[in-house]
Amino acid sequence: MKNFTRSLLDRDNLNLVLDNLKLGIIAHTTERIITVFNKEAEKITGYQKKEVLGKDCHNVFNSPFCGTKCSFCNDTPDLFSDTKEYPVTFVTRTGDTRHLEMTVSAIIDNDGLLNGVIASFRDLTESINLSLKTETLSSFNGIIGKDSTMQEIFRQIRDVALYSYPVHVSGETGTGKERVANAIHDISAYGNGAFVPVNCGAIPEGIVESELFGHVKGAFTGAVKERKGRFELAHKGTLFLDEVAELPLKIQVKLLRFLQEGTFEKVGGEKKVSVDVRIISAANKNLKDEVRAGRFREDLYYRLNVIPISLPPLRLRKTDIPLLAAHFLKQAELENNNSVPALADETMNVLLDYDWPGNVRELKNVIQFSVVRCRGKKILPADLPPEISRGEAPLTPAHRFPPDTEAFAAKGKLDAASVKAALTKTGGNKSKAARVLGVGRATLYRFLSNNTDAMEFSRRL
């Protein structure tokens, strides 16, 4: 009787401690049966303890509490030894969307066996909203940036996630279009479903219809069984159509019909298939230009471009370069379980002066290259890839140049008039002027040293 009383007191004391924490606490067994749910968890989620204890986590919340990060979605739990930390978007009992910071740890018994998990979580919704309002947020669902243009992107992601309308993300290669699509998916009502990315430009034209919409058995030679397409795989989730401008016109018609009716037919099939899918598209081409050229349907453009999000190139938000570089250095440290060198001040100056035609993706590659190459405690300019450390002009697509400067790059030879025009356009910045002219920085300096008139002109700017 004494031990039983002590057991009850210990349990009451534990519940008292948990209920006084300013963190939501939830624990469940390997069968997902909830055993712990404290008062802060009630406050954040809107669910009462008596409603959830003893019940399957997935059933009581109508979906995994941890969203797509759930380790217990399959018959065999996704066993882990380390603590997991990640953001979660949770829809409360009253239908409000809350942004949570989740920490999940395994519960291991004395025999070293997994008994379940315990998760602690904080509600960051108000903090995120305030940071967005004051433009002080440095990251949002894995997207890094403090530049005012990125703050606006964060607000757009937050706002559009509440609706199911199609979103079109535009931006140059490497600006992070898929990451934005993933963020919208994660914090939306579709976040508990699958995120299915499709690179429309990488699928051979002959099989793109089957890849997207699936096929029935016998639809064509080799179709030995019925197959689901990406639309069906994305049911209750998000389908991300990357490089959507590359879709053949025939497939554009079928995509348009789906957006209008919510149904499609598999290749070789006659039965209409209905799926609930959030469509997010992206392109590094200007879809309006593609419409004018007759390569993209105008009616499809308006169906996809309901909510447009335009990502800025890295060269237009260079104040984010130190933040991004620090993030990639930390990432390299975690991935390799080893300390990494820091960036020297002069190296950061080189990074800030570079034009970044490959945008954020290129910066990540440069940081990884430099970490491997560096032999000291600080990454020096010599540790950067040669084209950056030597200040060479990047290989840049013609569409990157403003119309009135394309002629300069096309000439192949420099003359005083084109150099003056480029210097005027770049405010006297010789590195940028060299890129506008399509030559290396050293080539421009040599020209200026041999042309007194152009050199004097540059000094007056």
Residues 330-377 have pLDDT tens digits of: 989 888 878 899 999 999 999 999 999 999 999 999 999 999 999 999
> Quick one: pLDDT at residue 106?
86
Chain segment 106-148, per-residue pLDDT in tens: 888 888 888 888 999 988 888 777 665 555 567 777 899 988 8
Q: Return d(Cα 100, Cα 91) in angstroms, integer.
A: 10
Residue owning tokens 């390569």? 295
Contact indicator for 146, 322 with CB cutoff of 8 Å: no
Alpha-helical regions (H) of 169-313: 177-186, 208-213, 230-233, 249-261, 287-292, 298-304
pLDDT above 70 covers a percentage of the chain that reads 86
Instruction: Find out whether 143 and 180 touch, Cβ atoms under 8 Å.
Output: yes
Are 108 and 115 contacting, i.e. CB atoms less than 8 angstroms apart? yes
Mean of the per-residue pLDDT values of the chain: 84
**What is the enclosing helix (H) or strand (E) of 139?**
strand 139-140
pTM of the model: 0.66
β-strand partners of 309: 169
Give per-residue pLDDT as tens, 31-76.
899 999 999 999 999 999 999 999 998 888 877 787 666 777 765 5
Reading the block at residue 447, the tokens are 């020209």
More confident residue, 244 or 3: 244
Q: Which residue has the higher pLDDT, 219 or 440?
A: 219
| Whole-angstrom distance, CA of residue 341 vs CA of residue 325 | 12
Q: DSSP character for 80?
A: -
Q: 342: exposed, middle or buried (C-beta count within 10 Å: 0-12, 13-18, 19+)?
A: middle
Strand extents, DSSP E, 2-96: 24-29, 34-37, 84-91
If phi > 0 it is left, if psi is from -120 to 50 it is alpha, else beta; for residue 268 that is left
**Closest by Cα among 297, 348, 355, 300 to 166:** 300
Q: Is 374 in a helix, a strand, or coil? A: coil
